[in-house]
């Protein structure tokens, strides 16, 4: 797991500056599996936590509000 990206997501100080690929890698490292792609939306699911994560690109970066949603899941489950 890339500790810098994890720290950036958890801190909330860089929500609009997280690269899409970095967020994808973090989600997989947290135990989520790719479920499907629907247009620009990429869906991941963690069967142990019974949680879905939906992310999409904003250029080369992930959308800030979706980074916040990932942070909420990290904090909710103590990941």
Tally Cβ neighbours within 10 Å of residue 50. 7
User: For helices 64-77 and 20-29, what crossing angle results, to 10°?
Assistant: 20
Q: What is the pTM of this model?
A: 0.92
pLDDT of residue 1: 87
Distance CA 24, CA 10 (A): 15
Q: What percentage of the chain reaches a pLDDT higher than 70?
A: 100
Helix (H, G, I), strand (E, B) or coil at 13: coil
- Domains observed in the chain: 3-77 (3.30.920)
Helix (H, G, I), strand (E, B) or coil at 67: helix
Q: What is the pLDDT along the chain (79 residues), one digit of tens a residue?
A: 899 999 999 999 999 999 999 999 999 999 999 999 999 999 999 999 999 999 999 999 999 999 999 999 999 999 9
């Amino acid at each position: 797991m890339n500790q810098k990206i994890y720290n950036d997501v958890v801190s909330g100080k860089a929500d609009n500056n997280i690269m899409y690929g970095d967020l994808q890698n973090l989600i997989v490292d947290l135990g989520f599996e790719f479920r499907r792609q629907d247009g620009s939306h990429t869906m991941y699911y963690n069967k142990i936590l019974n949680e879905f994560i939906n992310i999409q690109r904003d250029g080369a970066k992930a959308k800030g509000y979706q980074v916040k949603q990932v942070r909420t899941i990290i904090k909710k489950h103590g990941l």
